[in-house]
Structure 1
Amino acid sequence: MEKRNFGKTGYEFPILSFGAQRIVDEHNCTEEEAIQIVNRAIDEGITYFDTAPTYSKGQSEERLGKSFGKRRDQIWIATKTGERTRDGSWRKLEESLKRLQTDHVEEWRLHAVGTMEELDQIFAKDGALKALIEAKEQGVIKYLSISGHLNPRVQLEAINRFPFDSALVAVSAADHFIYSFAHEFLPKANEQGVAVIGMKLLGLGKLADWYEQALRYTFSLPVSTSIVGISSMEQLEKNLAVANNFKPMTDAETLSFLKEIMHMCTPDTLRWKAKDWNNKEEWAVR
């Protein structure tokens, strides 16, 4: 599988990484299945695992912790804080470490920062960024990150204010058409050496009819790696098949694909860019 540099960190990862949100009961994945899926992924060279304390009330982190065992030193864990204060974020990190059965994580991420107001809260005197910096100074985390689904301008402002090591952003083919991280954020992030992790490749399953094309579209972007949510061994094998045989899309292929799925660019499909999650009709205003 093709590997790429992870920004300026000196590390590199395969183009396919593991989104652990779905290895949970909520997505009909048992603990036994989760452990098997995670270890199969590691066997196939996947080393980057993304999770968060909010995923099924911590069950995602718990199952990763149970899965890694003696292989902990082979993998990279990225988890998140949705808190916007220093103290709240520290509490979340301490809880995450217990569930993950580790004394450190490689990457700690500010989760789903969607507005400038949230960014200001994070950068305040006692904001979440202070917890990230302190945790890095104490060796509890190694790299600092931010994620965003909605407004690329927020993540652009974030990396202008602070030298984040990475950013996790929504770059599905349907995201191409509105509030596009591919157009607005990726060029600046690459220029500054910020590692970019792609997400939402299948649009929460809405692009499943174009499975291979959807993955190839995002893999063809200048991202360091991309996470895909996995809840079954069948899905993992399907993702591995695309990644192992990946060839970048040509301009003609990309154009043809985007024309075919343009009708999918709706607030109903891209809920993370809707006015609110339950709004199927209106785009968020930025």
Structure 2
Amino acid sequence: MRYRAFGDTGMTVSEIGLGAWQLGNTTDWAGGPDRAESLAIVGAALDAGVTFFDTAPNYAGGHSEDLLGQALEGRRDEVVLCTKFGNHPGGQDFSAKAIRGSVERSLRRLRTGHLDIVLFHSPPHELLDGRVASHYEVFESLKREGLIRAYGGSVDWPADIETMLATTKSKAFEVWLSALHQEPWEATELAGAAGAGSVVKVALESGWLAGRYDGTSTFTDIRSRWSPEQLRRRAELTADFMALVPQGLTPVQTALRFVLANSGVSTVIPGTKSVAQLRANIAAADEDLPAETVEALRKLFAEKIAGDPLDW
């Protein structure tokens, strides 16, 4: 495992982290692991040197935080814990007055005295501006009290990152970044230069860049939201990506190493439903992606996707 600084926060994280939204999430479209497998995944991640764990209050109705807290007992000081605010098991509440209660509930479920990172979880756009939103005063107060170490936003678009950088003291971002969704590339590098760390989600495009789907694939879960035209376009772009995978590398290795080539990225959290999948993800970060492949994937995006982004 290799490690990177999380901006200038003083925290260091593994290049491959664990996104815990699937832990205990057995009843919905995630098709996640049960309790026993979830605990085994976290244990295997720790043993492999994973030090970054990302969760949220609403993941598996709060069960994700609870399972992660159980699995990390006795090893909390080895890891950087990131959770979120705004989406909760009972719905959404982005009000400033709800922040402290959300943090306190997360502390209890995660069985810890402090949270390393708390992210605004896809908030309404108007709340990103620290000049008008009082939320950041609450975050600063929690930081002074030692309940959190850093805060920021889980956002997906360049303007969101730029607004938070310019108007708040945010030091953490979680962004959708992949070979097929490079819109936040420059803003992520800007965040890194400003001393913020960035966590990459959806780097495998919900399985497309892992080679699991093609033009013949059909879906009955949340992926069925894609129209036939969107599926056709995804299949074509995935084929373009596969043509650029270097000999000797897997699609997963190529996709994860691509986002790690961004200078602002601290860690990437690919979806993990089993210990075997975890090990495959971790192996992807053994080496850097060849510069010519990074350039080719940047060119693919510029020529076929820029200006017409993929739908979520």
Q: 1:189-242: CA deviations, max 9, x gaps?
A: 122111122221111222221322111111111111112221111110111111
> Within 2, Cα distance between the matches of 1:242 and 1:34?
21
For the pair 1:119 / 2:160, whether they are aligned, the reply is no
Q: Which segment is superposed worse, 252-261 or 161-170?
A: 252-261
- Give 1:54-73 correspondences, 5 Å limit: 54-73=58-77
- Equivalent in 248, 254, 258 of residue 213 of structure 1: 254
> Within 2, Cα distance between the matches of 1:155 and 1:113?
12
- Residues 124 and 85 (structure 1 numbering): CA distance in 2 closer, same or farther, change over 3 Å? farther
Aligned residues: 262
Shift of 1:30: 0.8
Give the secondary-structure state (helix, strand or coil) at the position aligned to 2:284. helix
- Residues 140 and 227 (structure 1 numbering): CA distance in 2 closer, same or farther, change over 3 Å? same
For the pair 1:80 / 2:120, whether they are aligned, the reply is no
For the pair 1:129 / 2:136, whether they are aligned, the reply is yes
For the pair 1:253 / 2:293, whether they are aligned, the reply is yes
> Within 2, Cα distance between the matches of 1:190 and 1:261?
22
In structure 1, runs of 5+ residues without a counterpart are 273-286
- Residues 61 and 264 (structure 1 numbering): CA distance in 2 closer, same or farther, change over 3 Å? farther
> Within 1, Cα distance between the matches of 2:298 and 2:128?
32
> Within 1, Cα distance between the matches of 2:279 and 2:94?
37
- Equivalent in 136, 149, 153 of residue 146 of structure 1: 153
Shift of 1:124: 4.0
> Within 2, Cα distance between the matches of 1:123 and 1:258?
35
TM-score (norm 1): 0.83
Give the secondary-structure state (helix, strand or coil) at the position aligned to 2:53. strand
In structure 2, runs of 5+ residues without a counterpart are 87-92, 212-250
- Asked if structure 1 preserves the Cα contact closer than 8 Å seen for 2:51 and 2:79, the reply is yes
Matching residue of 2:99: 89
TM-score (norm 2): 0.77
For the pair 1:103 / 2:113, whether they are aligned, the reply is yes
Shift of 1:187: 3.1
- Asked if structure 1 preserves the Cα contact closer than 8 Å seen for 2:55 and 2:64, the reply is yes
For the pair 1:171 / 2:180, whether they are aligned, the reply is no
- Match of 2:293, as an amino acid? E
> Within 2, Cα distance between the matches of 1:56 and 1:270?
26
Give the secondary-structure state (helix, strand or coil) at the position aligned to 2:192. helix
Q: Which segment is superposed worse, 29-38 or 10-19?
A: 10-19
For the pair 1:46 / 2:88, whether they are aligned, the reply is no
> Within 2, Cα distance between the matches of 1:182 and 1:259?
13
- Asked if structure 2 preserves the Cα contact closer than 8 Å seen for 1:173 and 1:218, the reply is yes
Q: 1:47-96: CA deviations, max 9, x gaps?
A: 11010011121111011011111111111111000143221122211221
Q: 1:228-263: CA deviations, max 9, x gaps?
A: 2211111101111112x222331x213444677899
Shift of 1:164: 1.3
> Within 2, Cα distance between the matches of 1:187 and 1:241?
24
> Within 2, Cα distance between the matches of 1:264 and 1:33?
40
For the pair 1:242 / 2:244, whether they are aligned, the reply is no
Matching residue of 1:14: 14
- Asked if structure 1 preserves the Cα contact closer than 8 Å seen for 2:11 and 2:80, the reply is no
